[in-house]
């Protein structure tokens, strides 16, 4: 959901600029700042952003820059003259010294450099500004789309790694049955004068091995990997769903780890957890 977009256009003596940036968020957290002249259009701007962004912590700014010649503010000569006469009169009446620097004193007086014009938004200007907003939003959508394609390639890589690690467990899984049997028999033989029922030992062995069997976990994890890939192909708006699938993948990997009583298998499980953690971190970037 991270992204950035910026667009500009010129209308008469104004340079209109729109800028938007977004970070990860579970919902749409929108902050909008617009130039005072566009304040009446703020709700329309918010609606445009909401339709384009859907989710994310979004900051949007729309501002105006004027050309220097147009931005020059004329002095209010009549008001300055009135201030001068008033100051001079008060000084005479109160018998206090007149200012040594009248220019500085007058420039500090209210409204000496204030424009008295009232700005009104023309429809032609708003059409230009609205197009700038649209162009800005298109940019951030393109940015997000490119990031999404990169994320999909990253997810595919991590899913392949988990599938390969899951496959690498199989040789250790087959050999551990014999190791368990051997360890139990050696334990029984180490106890002097002990007699045991061979048939009962086999039954207990089967029960013990079934408790450690991970075939169901392997199958479910394989299904989750396939479902994650399928969901990615369904288009945007699947971020939360991918997060839920990743959680289910984590449960199967954790269960596999708890049933793994061999160091080699546990090492593989740790590697799978590392790959999955990278998926969970990046899935927050998906809409």
pLDDT tens, position by position, 152-198: 899 999 999 999 999 998 888 777 767 776 776 667 677 776 666 66
- Separation of alpha carbons 24 and 102, rounded Å: 56
Same-domain check for residues 96 and 38: no
Residue 18 resides in a domain:
yes
**What value does the mean pLDDT of the chain take?**
84
Q: What is the pLDDT of residue 71?
A: 47
What mean pLDDT is predicted for residues 107-113? 75
Same-domain check for residues 10 and 133: yes
Q: What is the pLDDT of residue 213?
A: 79
**CA dihedral (189, 191, 197, 202) positive or negative:** negative
Residue 135 resides in a domain:
yes
What is the tens place of the pLDDT at every residue in 203-234? 766 666 667 778 889 999 999 999 999 998 88
Residue 208 resides in a domain:
yes
What is the tens place of the pLDDT at every residue in 233-253? 887 678 888 989 999 999 999
Same-domain check for residues 97 and 123: no
Residue 27 banded pLDDT, cuts 50, 70, 90: confident
130-143 b/e with 16+ CB inside 10 Å = b?
bebbeebbebbeeb
Residue 283 banded pLDDT, cuts 50, 70, 90: confident
Same-domain check for residues 66 and 78: no
Same-domain check for residues 134 and 50: yes
Proportion of the chain in helix, strand, coil states, percent, rounded to 5: 65, 15, 20
Q: Does residue 86 surpass a pLDDT of 80?
A: yes
The continuous run of DSSP H or E covering 57 comes out as strand 56-66
**Cβ contacts of 70 within 8 Å, gap of 6 or more:** 13
Residue 114 banded pLDDT, cuts 50, 70, 90: low
Same-domain check for residues 31 and 136: yes
Same-domain check for residues 36 and 155: no
Q: What is the pLDDT of residue 70?
A: 47
Residue 129 banded pLDDT, cuts 50, 70, 90: very high
Instruction: Give yes or no for a contact between 133 and 45, defined as CB atoms under 8 angstroms apart.
Output: yes
Same-domain check for residues 55 and 97: no
Residue 113 resides in a domain:
no
CATH of the domain at 32: 3.30.230
The domain total for the chain is: 3
Same-domain check for residues 7 and 44: yes
Same-domain check for residues 62 and 94: no
Q: Which residue, of 52, 82, 107, is where some domain finishes? A: 107
Residue 34 resides in a domain:
yes
Residue 173 resides in a domain:
yes
Residue 131 banded pLDDT, cuts 50, 70, 90: very high
Q: What is the pLDDT of residue 115?
A: 54
- Residue 88: domain span: 74-107
Q: Which residue, of 92, 127, 142, is where some domain finishes? A: 142
Q: Does residue 57 surpass a pLDDT of 70?
A: yes
Residue 266 resides in a domain:
yes
Q: What is the pLDDT of residue 171?
A: 82
Residue 121 banded pLDDT, cuts 50, 70, 90: confident
Residue 51 resides in a domain:
yes
Residue 58 banded pLDDT, cuts 50, 70, 90: very high
Same-domain check for residues 99 and 226: no
Q: What is the pLDDT of residue 219?
A: 93
Q: What is the pLDDT of residue 108?
A: 78
Same-domain check for residues 87 and 7: no
């Amino acid at each position: 959901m991270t992204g950035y977009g910026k667009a500009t256009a010129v209308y008469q003596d104004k340079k209109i600029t729109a800028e938007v940036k977004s970070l990860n968020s579970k919902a749409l957290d929108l902050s909008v700042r617009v130039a005072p002249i566009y304040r009446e259009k703020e709700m329309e701007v918010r609606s445009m952003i909401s339709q384009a962004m859907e989710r994310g912590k979004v900051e949007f700014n729309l501002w105006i820059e004027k050309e220097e010649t147009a931005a020059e503010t004329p002095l209010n000569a009549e008001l300055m003259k009135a201030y001068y006469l008033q100051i001079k009169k008060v000084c005479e009446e109160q018998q206090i010294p007149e200012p040594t620097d009248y220019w500085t004193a007058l420039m500090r007086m209210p409204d000496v450099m204030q424009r008295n014009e009232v700005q009104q938004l023309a429809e032609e200007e708003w059409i230009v500004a609205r197009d700038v907003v649209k162009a800005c939003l298109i940019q951030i959508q393109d940015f997000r789309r490119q990031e999404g394609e990169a994320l999909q390639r990253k997810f595919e890589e991590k899913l392949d790694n988990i599938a390969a690690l899951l496959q690498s467990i199989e040789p250790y899984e087959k050999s551990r049955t014999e190791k368990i049997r051997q360890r139990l028999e050696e334990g029984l033989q180490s106890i002097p004068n002990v007699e045991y029922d061979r048939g009962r030992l086999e039954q207990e062995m089967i029960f013990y091995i079934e408790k450690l069997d991970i075939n169901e976990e392997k199958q479910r994890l394989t299904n989750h990997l396939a479902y994650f890939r399928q969901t990615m192909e369904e288009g945007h708006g699947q971020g939360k769903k991918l997060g839920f699938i990743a959680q289910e993948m984590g449960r199967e990997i954790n269960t596999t780890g708890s049933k793994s009583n061999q160091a080699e298998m546990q090492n593989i499980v740790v590697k799978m957890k590392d790959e999955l953690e990278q998926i969970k971190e990046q899935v927050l970037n998906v809409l």
